[in-house]
Amino acid sequence: MTTVRTQPAAVSGESGRGPALEQIVDGDASTHLEDLVVGPLPALDAFAAIPEAGQAVGIELVGPHLRLAGTMGIGHFHRVSDFLNHHEGLIELRDATILRRNGDPTRVTTRSIWINADEVTLVGQEADDEHRPAAPDFAVPKVPVGLIVVTPGHTLTGQVYITAEAELSVFIESPSPAFIPLTDVRTRSLADRRVVSRYGFAMLNRRHIVAATELQPGMVPGRTVL
C-alpha cells in the first residue's frame, strides 16, 4: 500500500510511570500497545509454512482506532471478498505487525491475532486481484462508479462495480454483501488529514458507512473530496 506518512508522535515517560499523557495520540491504539513492549520480541514464523491456512494473502486491516498488516488464510476461497462475506466469527491474522495511524510499523508484532470483523472498516491490498478476467460463461457485465464514503475514522474515494442496469441507490441501501469490493481506493484520516493512504483493492465494511454519495464530475479523488 502506498501511504503518505506523517512523523509519529514520540512516546516516552518517567521510569515506572508509562508514557506521558500529553504525548499519547488520542484514539490510536498503536501508541498504547507499543508501550507494553519492554524487550525484543521473538521473530515471526513464515505463515506460508502452515498448511491449514490454505491460500494466504497479505492484507492490511484498518479500523477507526487500529491499523495492522499481516497475512490472512482464506482457505478454499479464491478471492478475499468471498472469504470475508462468507466467514463467521473472528478473523485470524498471522505474522501481524501493529501499524501507527500513518502506516508506519511499530515494534509490536505477533504470530497470530484475532480481529472482530465488525470493527474493521477496510481490508486493503496493494493490487486488484479480484477483477481478473473471468471465463466468458461466468462474466457479468459491470460498470465502475466513483464513490465518496465517510466512515467513523476516514473519508475515502474508490470505484465500486455494479451491473449496468442497477441503481447505485439500491446497491448502497442493500444490507449485503457485508463487505463491498472497491478499486483505486484513497483514504484520508479524520483524526489527521495529512494521513492519506492508497490501495489498489479494498473491501469496505458496509456497516461502517456513515454517508455515501456518487463522485461528481470535476471532483478529483483524494483531493477535492470533503
- Output the furthest CA–CA distance in the chain (Å, rounded): 66
Residue type, 216: Q
Q: Please tell me the predicted confidence (pLDDT) of residue 3.
A: 53
Residue type, 217: P
pLDDT in tens, 47-72: 444 445 568 899 999 998 899 999 99
- Which residue ranges in the chain fall short of pLDDT 70? 1-27, 38, 41-54, 128-139, 220-226
Element (H, E) at 169: helix 168-173
Q: Supply the DSSP symbol for 54.
A: B
Q: For residues 94 and 114, is the Cβ–Cβ distance under 8 A?
A: no
The domain segmentation of the chain, as residue ranges, is 2-123, 142-214
3-state secondary structure string across 5-33: CCCCCCCCCCCCCCCCHHHCCCCCHHHHH
Whole-angstrom distance, CA of residue 164 vs CA of residue 86: 25
User: 62-77 burial by CB neighbour count: b if 16+ within 10 A, else e?
Assistant: bbbebbbbbbbbbeeb
Q: Supply the DSSP symbol for 86.
A: H
User: 151-179 burial by CB neighbour count: b if 16+ within 10 A, else e?
Assistant: bebbbbbbbbbeeeeeeeeebbeeeeebb
Q: Please tell me the predicted confidence (pLDDT) of residue 54.
A: 63
Q: Please tell me the predicted confidence (pLDDT) of residue 138.
A: 52
Please, which residues bridge with residue 144 across strands? 161
| 142-214 CATH | 2.30.30.100
- DSSP for 187-200, please give it: EEESS-TT-EEEEE
Q: Please tell me the predicted confidence (pLDDT) of residue 129.
A: 59
Helix, strand or coil, per DSSP, at residue 107: strand
Q: Please tell me the predicted confidence (pLDDT) of residue 36.
A: 78
Q: Of the candidates 153, 192, 64, 47, which has an alpha carbon nearest to the alpha carbon of residue 109?
A: 47
